[in-house]
């Protein structure tokens, strides 16, 4: 034995002797002494456990090192050798560890899931698939032949068991189903008719009877329609109670033209739901002659109603003077302060206020109801948009690329089919500056070609919220003479045909601020009306004083301010016919009484008005309201010069606002920090206000270069390279916009937690130095300015000839700004989506987490949850009871149903709604079915989920159409995966 071991040791260079492999399991033979037990303890200590453990760990490390150096085949060979030497308990430990580390991915779900879930899964299989599943295993056969899976299939087809199965009767319904299918006799329709007489064959007598009934039904329907028309006509034109019409057509001393009757409200006041519907005369009562009575007009209209096929006489003397056809104005509810626009709509204009979240078919139906079979003279569209596209609806944008898509093409063909022809003065007026860009002009041409109508749009030569509507339009022309004054006015400002000039001007200039005021008004219903009104008036006053009076140039000492205040107060207390002389005498007396006041005022003015003794700001050259560029002689066609001057003028206003941020906020906060009286920390000041200084430095250089070019302005002068230089440094704006949400949150957090900063904002916000704007509004100016840059550069590019040396640089700068606008719009969409999801999450109580993935809220709808007492009753006779109010929240991938509760406040008209989570259904597994309108239920529909269904109803048909249209579109997108 020893000889063989020695031979093996000599043959293998790294052989290990058998006594070395015994390790701690080495058992000395009986009879050996202790000395023999510790013979090899120098290498393998048996008595010292610590040394033994240390040696074991060293050998394990060595073995693992070798294992890392081996190949995959060698590793598998070692594992196989080790596992074959393991005991059962050791193998079980390896199995459990492997199952925990590498879980099984394919497992029999019937062995893991509960029995009722396995049966629920199998209930979706067809009978053929159930029979195939029964062949998988014995356990699957037991589940696949359960009576609960086959009883419903048999009963649905009218196959009933002739006996009641016992408790241990196994597979009775399946056997009955198989026997019924195997013995089923299939008959063709003709064979079934010959056997049962069910073929739909009509005799001659039956056809004649049905024709008579159909004819009688048509006659009764025609009579009902004519009676309804006469009734509605009499209601619209009836006189007031107790009124008497005099023979001369006057009443109570007023002529018919001076004071129209009650019917005038139908046409003179703009209405959203009652547009003119009588032939071509929307203003019937206003168009009567002075000497004609109302009865003549009524008799003519009744004759037209009683004989609708008879055309009216063309050349007969009629007491009615037909007014111009109605104008149609489409207004989106996404327009800021649309209530003000609706209040200024002129008489004879049919207004359609549509929901921005709706669909194109729903909008067409709403327009059709508003026109009521009448042709519109012109079509006006007031929707959010820019120089390249119009955001007609939330899911539909009108641009040069999307105009020829099937949906938009069909929409515009149907919509413009209700507008008069171009020869009759018909056309389309789009209240967006499409004519300011090449793609917008191409959109106008394509839309005109598609519809065959004249399309007009503003040229975008004015900056501001919506002031481009009041600027020149695409077909503006110069008109001379008094006779053509009205035609010229309509060509220059077509919007004035729809809305009163005063209302439109006020809305265009203050739309953004009015939207804030009206938004708060809608949400709070009046409690904060006074504060919001003061803020809106303060902003308007601030703009006027800053842009018109340029008060930043006025340096007035404190003493002179007090003197002027006292003088004006004394002037208001007395009735003076010569106020200027009174004020001069008062100031003279004031100077004599206040000795040394004038000297002090001069010293303060020499010192620059430092400290708090002067009411002024020393502006930089970039903050001047009026451009130092002299007004050069401008020809009629010098559009480039007009746009360049507008760019320079608006740049000065923009720099004034940015300078106000540094002057009013940054410098005082930094000074307080340096004087160890910190209001904000250095990190907060740097995060919120420092990015503004970088933008201000960049735009000051841009203004100086632009000013130098305008001083030498000529036909060949170029400013495109200056714009390209600005666009090459847009990274400053990118950093600012990425940091903008964080800056706003920082300002809000510091305002809530820091009383000193709260008091500082209260002193400085909405003052003359900040142009009556707050810090948050001033921080939004860079995002607004990028939009203005794009509009002005588009207008400049359109009016620059392709051969001009400036055309290449302008095109490059414009393309850069267009790409940058997409980046800003993406930031806005993400912010709006997050805000809506957070508000919805807070609104619904007990709702799971909604902020997952790219989920978006499409729309919400209030509805009533209905329940039918019997499902076997026909749909035409089925009644429903109102169970509760529900809220339907439609997301991009799911529909959430909530139980809505309305709580009214005592002694007020206010109320609030609370939502409690009820259920959620994935759109891919949701089916929608409309319920036919009956005398028992209206505007109802069924939402069919995989487990249960809900019967809901809306209050109005328009709401149902909009919601179902949006729901079907979302379901189609969720199923097909297409946007």
Mean predicted lDDT score pLDDT of the chain: 75
HEC-encoded secondary structure of 538-603: HHHHHHHHHHHHCHHHCCEEHHHHHHHHHHHHHHHHCCCCCHHHHHHHHHHHHHHHCCCHHHHHHH
Closest CA to 395 of 968, 861, 976: 968
Residue 343: CB atoms within 10 Å:
12
- Among all chains, which residue has been given the structure tokens 């009759």? 424
Q: How confident is the model at residue 237 (pLDDT cuts 50, 70, 90)?
A: low
What digits encode the pLDDT tens for the residues 189-214? 666 566 655 444 444 445 677 777 78
- The pLDDT value recorded for residue 436 is 85
Closest CA to 650 of 627, 628, 634: 627
Work out the average pLDDT over 673-701.
90
Between 579-593 and 558-573, two packed helices, what is the crossing angle to 10 degrees? Answer: 130
Which one-letter DSSP state was computed for residue 60?
Answer: H
Asked if pLDDT for residue 657 goes beyond 70, the answer is: yes
Work out the average pLDDT over 473-483.
48
SS3 category, 432? coil
How many Å apart are CA 648 and CA 655, to the nearest integer? 11
Work out the average pLDDT over 675-702.
90
How many Å apart are CA 496 and CA 489, to the nearest integer? 8
- The pLDDT value recorded for residue 641 is 86
Region of 811 please: left (phi>0), alpha (psi -120 to 50) or beta: alpha
- The pLDDT value recorded for residue 617 is 36
Q: How far apart are the first and last CA of the chain?
A: 83
Q: How confident is the model at residue 891 (pLDDT cuts 50, 70, 90)?
A: very high
Strands 911-922 and 894-904 turn out to be antiparallel
Residues 6+ apart with CB under 8 A from 581: none
**Strands (E) located in 394-547:** 396-399, 427-430, 454-456
Q: How confident is the model at residue 532 (pLDDT cuts 50, 70, 90)?
A: low
Do residues 428 and 384 touch, judged by C-beta distance below 8 A?
Answer: no
Q: How confident is the model at residue 127 (pLDDT cuts 50, 70, 90)?
A: very high
- The pLDDT value recorded for residue 250 is 37
Higher pLDDT, 535 or 42: 535
What digits encode the pLDDT tens for the residues 804-862? 888 899 999 989 998 998 898 888 888 888 888 888 888 898 888 888 777 888 889 99
- The pLDDT value recorded for residue 95 is 87
What digits encode the pLDDT tens for the residues 706-743? 999 988 888 888 988 999 999 999 999 999 999 999 99
Do residues 134 and 141 touch, judged by C-beta distance below 8 A?
Answer: yes
Work out the average pLDDT over 745-771.
89
How many Å apart are CA 579 and CA 559, to the nearest integer? 21
- The pLDDT value recorded for residue 118 is 92
Indicate the pTM of the whole model: 0.47
Asked if pLDDT for residue 278 goes beyond 80, the answer is: no
Asked if pLDDT for residue 188 goes beyond 70, the answer is: no
Q: In which element (H, E) is residue 807 found?
A: helix 807-843
- The pLDDT value recorded for residue 539 is 66
Higher pLDDT, 92 or 7: 92
Higher pLDDT, 476 or 705: 705
Closest CA to 768 of 670, 610, 656: 656
Q: Distance of CA 350 to CAs 280, 360, 490, Å?
A: 13, 19, 18
Q: How confident is the model at residue 268 (pLDDT cuts 50, 70, 90)?
A: very low
């Amino acid at each position: 034995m020893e000889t063989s071991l020695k031979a093996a040791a000599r043959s293998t260079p790294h052989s290990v002797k058998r006594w070395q492999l015994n390790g701690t399991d080495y058992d000395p033979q009986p009879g050996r002494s202790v000395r023999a037990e510790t013979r090899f303890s120098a290498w393998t200590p048996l008595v010292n456990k610590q040394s033994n453990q240390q040696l074991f760990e060293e050998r394990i490390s060595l073995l693992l090192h070798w294992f890392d150096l081996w190949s995959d085949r060698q590793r598998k060979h070692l594992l196989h050798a080790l596992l074959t030497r393991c005991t059962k308990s050791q193998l079980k430990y390896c199995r459990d560890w492997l199952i925990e580390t590498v879980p099984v991915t394919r497992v029999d779900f019937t062995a893991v899931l509960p029995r009722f879930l396995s049966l629920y899964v199998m209930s979706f299989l067809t009978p053929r698939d159930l029979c195939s599943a029964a062949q998988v295993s014995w356990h699957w056969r037991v589940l696949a032949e359960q009576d609960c899976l086959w009883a419903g299939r048999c009963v649905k087809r009218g196959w009933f068991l002739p006996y009641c199965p016992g408790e241990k009767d196994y597979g009775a319904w399946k056997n009955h189903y198989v026997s019924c299918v195997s013995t089923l006799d299939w008959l063709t329709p003709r064979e079934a008719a010959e056997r049962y007489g069910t073929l739909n064959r009509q005799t001659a007598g039956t056809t004649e009877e049905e024709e008579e009934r159909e004819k009688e039904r048509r006659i009764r329907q025609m009579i009902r329609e004519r009676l309804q028309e006469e009734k509605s006509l009499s209601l619209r034109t009836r006189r007031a109670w107790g009124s008497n019409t005099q023979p001369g057509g006057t009443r109570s001393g007023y002529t018919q033209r001076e004071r129209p009757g009650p019917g005038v409200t139908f046409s003179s006041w703009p209405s959203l739901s009652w547009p003119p519907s009588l032939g071509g005369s929307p203003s019937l009562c206003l168009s009567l002659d002075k000497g004609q009575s109302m009865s003549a007009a009524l008799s003519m209209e009744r004759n037209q109603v009683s004989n609708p096929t008879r055309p009216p006489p063309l050349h007969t003397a009629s007491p009615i003077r037909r007014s111009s056809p109605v104008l149609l104005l489409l207004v989106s509810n996404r327009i800021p302060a649309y209530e003000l626009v609706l209040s200024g709509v002129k008489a004879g204009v049919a207004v359609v206020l549509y929901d921005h979240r709706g669909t194109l078919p729903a909008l067409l139906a709403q327009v059709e109801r508003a026109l009521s079979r009448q042709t519109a003279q012109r079509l006006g569209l007031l929707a959010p948009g820019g120089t390249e596209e119009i955001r007609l609806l939330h899911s539909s944008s009108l641009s040069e690329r999307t105009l020829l898509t099937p949906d938009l093409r069909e929409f515009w063909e149907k919509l413009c089919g209700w507008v008069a022809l171009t020869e009759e003065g018909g056309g389309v007026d789009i209240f967006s500056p499409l004519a300011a860009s090449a793609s917008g002009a191409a959109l106008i041409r394509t839309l005109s070609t598609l519809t065959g109508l004249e399309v007009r749009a503003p040229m975008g030569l004015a900056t501001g919220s919506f002031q481009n509507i009041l600027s020149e339009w695409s077909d503006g022309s110069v008109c001379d003479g008094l006779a053509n004054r009205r035609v010229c006015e309509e060509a220059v400002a077509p919007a004035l045909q729809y809305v009163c000039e005063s209302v439109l001007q006020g809305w265009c200039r203050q739309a953004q601020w009015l939207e804030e005021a009206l938004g708060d008004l809608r949400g709070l219903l009046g409690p904060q009306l006074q504060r919001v009104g003061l803020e809106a008036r303060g902003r308007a006053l601030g703009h006027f004083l800053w842009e018109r009076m340029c008060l930043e140039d006025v340096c007035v000492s404190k003493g002179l301010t007090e003197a002027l205040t006292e003088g004006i107060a004394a002037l208001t207390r007395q009735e003076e016919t010569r106020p200027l002389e009174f004020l001069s005498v008062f100031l003279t007396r004031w100077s004599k009484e206040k000795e040394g006041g004038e000297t002090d005022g001069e010293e303060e003015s020499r010192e620059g008005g430092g400290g708090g003794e002067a009411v002024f700001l020393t502006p930089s050259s970039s903050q001047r309201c009026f451009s130092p560029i002299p007004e050069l002689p401008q020809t009629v066609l010098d559009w480039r010069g007009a746009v360049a001057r507008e760019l320079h003028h608006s740049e000065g206003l923009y720099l004034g606002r940015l300078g106000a941020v540094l002057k009013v906020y940054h410098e005082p906060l930094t000074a307080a920090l340096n004087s160890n009286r910190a209001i904000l920390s250095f990190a907060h000041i740097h995060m919120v206000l420092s990015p503004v200084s970088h933008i201000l430095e960049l735009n000051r250089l841009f203004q100086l270069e632009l000013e130098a070019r305008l001083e030498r302005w000529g036909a060949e002068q170029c400013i495109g390279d200056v714009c390209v230089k600005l666009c090459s440094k847009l990274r400053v704006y990118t950093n600012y916009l990425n940091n903008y949400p964080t800056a706003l949150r920082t300002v809000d957090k510091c305002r809530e937690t820091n009383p000193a900063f709260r008091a500082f904002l209260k002193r400085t916000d909405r003052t003359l130095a900040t142009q009556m704007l707050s810090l948050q509004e001033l921080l939004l100016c860079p995002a607004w300015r990028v939009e203005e840059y794009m509009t002005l550069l588009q207008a400049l590019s359109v009016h620059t000839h392709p051969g001009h040396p400036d055309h290449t640089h302008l095109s490059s700068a414009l393309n850069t700004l267009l790409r940058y606008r997409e980046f800003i719009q993406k930031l806005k969409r993400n912010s709006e989506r997050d805000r809506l999801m957070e508000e919805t999450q807070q609104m619904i109580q007990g709702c799971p987490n909604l902020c997952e993935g790219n989920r978006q809220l499409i729309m919400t709808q209030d509805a009533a949850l209905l329940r039918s007492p019997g499902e076997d009753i026909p749909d035409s006779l089925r009644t429903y009871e109102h169970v509760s109010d529900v809220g339907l929240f439609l997301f991009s991938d799911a529909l959430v149903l909530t139980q809505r509760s309305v709580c009214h406040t005592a002694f007020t008209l206010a109320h609030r709604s609370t939502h409690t989570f009820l259920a959620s259904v994935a759109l891919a597994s949701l089916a929608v079915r409309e319920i036919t309108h009956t005398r028992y239920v209206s505007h109802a529909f069924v939402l069919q989920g995989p487990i249960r269904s809900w019967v809901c109803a809306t209050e109005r048909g328009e709401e149902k159409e909009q919601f179902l249209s949006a729901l079907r579109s979302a379901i189609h997108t969720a199923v097909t995966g297409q946007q």
